[in-house]
Structure 1
Amino acid sequence: MSKKYPLHALTAALSATACANAWAVEPQSIKLADGVQFTPTLQVSERYDDNFRAVEDHKESSWITRLTPTFALGAEGHKGRYEVKYSSESEIIHSSRNDDNTDHHLTAEAALQFDVRNRLQLNAGYHRVEQVDSDNSDNLEKLNNENDKFSTINASALYSFGAQGARGQIDMGAKHEKLRYHNRNHINDDLEHESTTLNAIFYYRVAPKTRALLETRYTDYNYVSNDMRNSKNYALLGGLTWKATAKTSGTVKIGSEKKRFEESGVDNMSNSMLEVGIDWKPRTYSTFSFTTRQAIDESYESGIGASAVKSTSISFDWEHKWGARLSTKTSYARSERKYQDYERDDDLDAFGVDLTYKLRRWLDVGISYRYATNDSSREGEGYDRNIYVFNITASL
């Protein structure tokens, strides 16, 4: 069975134990100095997953315990805000203790405002992740007998020019990402790559709370050992962003994207591109969110020869506060993935319900349910999955 890079899979959200409203706690920070605060948070969850390997045959179920401590160090100055955050996610898979794993996440960000016209945002992160492997993999992967282990490093910068109320504004961004695997027997080496993205967005105010936008975007993908996937993506998008009232806000981008491969034996690709995110708040305690996206993605599947994936996704969320303590979130998402140069199409549907009860300012309890089904044209790649979760989130 081909390997999957989980940060780009819709099911990653399904396997998360925390319900969406679990972070409704209001942490009490520890003041270390003027403008410097330390904030610890702990989440403990227990879930039952009836197909924790997300496979079509030979399903395995298990109770899974997850511990997630988070430590954030923040500082504010006259012209900037800074934060460094570390969190770990330790999973105990009770029916398969060999698959126990711990992920590590370290991030840093800075928001600087030099004057009313010049602003800069900086972000960096390191993530060391272990993904539970499938048990119906090929012989080499069985010989490997370990979970997928990989790390990502990312750094980005966004410079904005123009006052907040000005008629025109410009954003210029740069981002670099690096993916490396740490398995034995060179498993997934063909997925290792680096990518660099550059983009520029011009905003023009057409109404008091509405701006038209034009964006250009360039991404360079450079694979370590798989030259057939080396490529460059070019995108041009136009649209609107608005906050018309207290009830409605959103961004709509429509355009086209081209992917040009360095190897002459791989066909270049073109595709229409769509990025939409809209929030509607008919009441202060109720929010409906809609997002959709269409683009060309990397395949993140090892050893199958797919050059890229044309993906389309759509999601709906409804968050509602039923009182001072009780809140819920209902969500639905669908993802359609069409593999290029490989005979495989996937249609993934995911549904979730979360309920959170605020016992104290510093303590939440929640229950949630997740269901996912993947309909794949490739034999052995479809599956159904149910996840039931109970979690506790605490802070100072």
Structure 2
Amino acid sequence: MKFKNSTSITLLAVFFSCNVSALEPASIKTESGVDITPLLESKYEYDNNIFNSSSNEKSSTKLVVKPSVNFQMIDALNTFSMGTYVESGTYFSSSDDNYLDGGFEAATHLEPSSRDRFDFKYEYDFKTEQRGTGVSEGLLNLLDDPSEFREQNTDLRYEFGGITSSRFALLANYQDIRFTNNRNLTQYRDFDERLLGGQFLYALSALTDLTLDASYTGIRYDLIDESGVTRDSNVKELLVGVRWEATALTTGVAKIGYQNKSFKAFERGDFNGVSWLVEAQWAPLSYSTFRFTSQAGAVDPDTFGDYIDQKGVSLGWEHTWSSLVSTSAVYSYTNDDFSGVEREDDSQELVLSVIHNTARWLETSMYYTYQDKDSNLALFKFDKSIVGINFKVSM
């Protein structure tokens, strides 16, 4: 799934499966007030279709090692944090697909007065897009190595008004992606996005707000592909909704509205339609939580077509059985209807996890993932299973 500038429902499966973690990392507390928290994550898994192939599937075991460290300082209502990580992936049956990723993040939250709040976040990552995904989806034979890219994300938010009263926020986001290899294919997918927006929150009560969101996003690609038709576009979106934390049992946000995606090239078809976002959590018991997410809108494809009219839904359940054992189950469904090409995909994913809180500083989990993509184009159909074990080690 793609859902740019928003939460990917596929990634929510990972979020849900990890959210039940009871790991309590200890920090190194410095005299300056900075808390330093190191963490080591590693997983060993078996994937029976590492390239998401429709035929002639290739399987492999894989070892991932990810050390990270986070620095945080809290000064009354103000928070400052930085973090960095390195991730190494080793495929034992496909060494050409081994990778080394890494990144850096800095964030701050400032409250200079009771009516002013400022949030800033910057992320820089160098990542690997595995063969059979993204720009190489269905085009595996064109690449000998996975595609590597760097990504920058900057988020700004300024909010004015009392916490329990009506308030207004200004938003800005900048995203920049540049591929560094496989340029015969990836050079046409270098792009940047600039978003400007505003949000008005009308307080119905201390814990419930009506929301009105408006945003404008400019998407610009560095190069025009061999078709000679630019992919540059402008996206306007207006959403109205509600945000609530009515009781300890339920929290969430629900928004619906209108999205217009207009291309600079008249040869490409514009999108005008309904978009929405729903994120809800229900905890009928202190040790059991259900989560529901749904999202719809137009996004850019990685391969062919003008845009994807994308709709998705995800349902997750987390349950703590004892002080040592918890489980997570997440089901996700996505429909991708492509404009500009005759293609429609239906994707499903199921993620099951069992987490064992071995010690305060050690968490062990086992997981199973099943993915299935159906498409009217046989090239993009596939199914796969992943089974693995994951360790998190802290101080």
Say whether the fold is shared (TM-score over 0.5): yes
TM bucket by the smaller chain?
A: over 0.9
Contact conserved, 1:75 with 1:82, CA < 8 A, in 2?
Answer: yes
Name 1:308's counterpart in structure 2.
307
Flag the 1:13–1:20 CA change in 2: closer, same or farther, 3 A: same
Residue 203 of structure 1, CA deviation:
0.8
Contact conserved, 1:291 with 1:316, CA < 8 A, in 2?
Answer: yes
Residue 186 of structure 1, CA deviation:
3.0
Contact conserved, 2:20 with 2:328, CA < 8 A, in 1?
Answer: no
Q: How does 1:116-195 map to 2 (within 5 A)?
A: 116-134=114-132, 142=141, 144-166=143-165, 168-195=166-193
In structure 2, give the amino acid aligned to 1:322: W
Residue 276 of structure 1, CA deviation:
0.5
Residue 292 of structure 1, CA deviation:
0.2
Query: Which residue, 239, 247, 250 being the options, matches 1:248?
Result: 250
Name 2:273's counterpart in structure 1.
271
Distance in 2 between residues matched to 1:35 and 1:124, nearest whole Å: 22
Contact conserved, 1:275 with 1:293, CA < 8 A, in 2?
Answer: yes
Q: Secondary structure at the match of 1:189?
A: helix
| Residue 58 in structure 1 maps to residue 56 in structure 2 | yes
Contact conserved, 2:370 with 2:384, CA < 8 A, in 1?
Answer: yes
Deviations 1:79-98 (A, max 9, x none): 52111111122111001112
Structure 2: which 5+ runs fail to align? Answer: none
Q: How does 1:199-348 map to 2 (within 5 A)?
A: 199-226=197-224, 228-301=230-303, 304=304, 306-348=305-347
Flag the 1:177–1:138 CA change in 2: closer, same or farther, 3 A: closer
Contact conserved, 1:6 with 1:131, CA < 8 A, in 2?
Answer: no
Q: Secondary structure at the match of 1:20?
A: helix
Residue 32 of structure 1, CA deviation:
2.2
Name 2:39's counterpart in structure 1.
41
Contact conserved, 2:45 with 2:62, CA < 8 A, in 1?
Answer: yes
Aligned residues: 387
TM-score w.r.t. the length of structure 2 is: 0.92
Contact conserved, 2:53 with 2:138, CA < 8 A, in 1?
Answer: no
Residue 6 of structure 1, CA deviation:
11
Distance in 2 between residues matched to 1:350 and 1:143, nearest whole Å: 27
Q: Secondary structure at the match of 1:133?
A: coil
Flag the 1:13–1:50 CA change in 2: closer, same or farther, 3 A: farther
Q: Secondary structure at the match of 2:230?
A: helix
Contact conserved, 1:228 with 1:262, CA < 8 A, in 2?
Answer: yes
Structure 1: which 5+ runs fail to align? Answer: none
Flag the 1:178–1:299 CA change in 2: closer, same or farther, 3 A: same
Q: Secondary structure at the match of 1:24?
A: coil
| Residue 85 in structure 1 maps to residue 61 in structure 2 | no
In structure 1, give the amino acid aligned to 2:376: S
Residue 5 of structure 1, CA deviation:
7.7
Distance in 1 between residues matched to 2:3 and 2:264, nearest whole Å: 26
Distance in 2 between residues matched to 1:6 and 1:169, nearest whole Å: 27
Name 1:392's counterpart in structure 2.
391
In structure 2, give the amino acid aligned to 1:334: Y
Measured on the aligned residues, the alpha-carbon RMSD in Å equals 2.4
Q: Secondary structure at the match of 1:228?
A: coil
Flag the 1:11–1:247 CA change in 2: closer, same or farther, 3 A: closer
Distance in 1 between residues matched to 2:388 and 2:158, nearest whole Å: 41
TM-score w.r.t. the length of structure 1 is: 0.92
In structure 2, give the amino acid aligned to 1:270: N
Q: Secondary structure at the match of 1:33?
A: coil
Deviations 1:187-212 (A, max 9, x none): 21111110011111111112342211
Deviations 1:294-335 (A, max 9, x none): 11111122xx3x111110010001011111111111100001
**Mean CA deviation greater in 346-355 or 77-86:** 77-86
Q: Secondary structure at the match of 1:190?
A: helix
Deviations 1:187-238 (A, max 9, x none): 2111111001111111111234221111111110011003621110011111
In structure 1, give the amino acid aligned to 2:81: E
Contact conserved, 2:20 with 2:318, CA < 8 A, in 1?
Answer: no
Q: Secondary structure at the match of 2:356?
A: strand
Deviations 1:95-118 (A, max 9, x none): 111211111121111011111000
Contact conserved, 1:374 with 1:382, CA < 8 A, in 2?
Answer: yes
Flag the 1:333–1:5 CA change in 2: closer, same or farther, 3 A: closer
Name 1:20's counterpart in structure 2.
18
Residue 47 of structure 1, CA deviation:
0.4
Q: How does 1:62-81 map to 2 (within 5 A)?
A: 62-81=60-79
Residue 13 of structure 1, CA deviation:
6.9
Q: Secondary structure at the match of 1:90?
A: strand
Contact conserved, 1:66 with 1:89, CA < 8 A, in 2?
Answer: yes
Contact conserved, 1:21 with 1:355, CA < 8 A, in 2?
Answer: no
Deviations 1:353-383 (A, max 9, x none): 1110111100011101000100011121010
Deviations 1:269-308 (A, max 9, x none): 201011001110101111100010011111122xx3x111
Distance in 2 between residues matched to 1:132 and 1:376, nearest whole Å: 20
Distance in 2 between residues matched to 1:105 and 1:322, nearest whole Å: 35
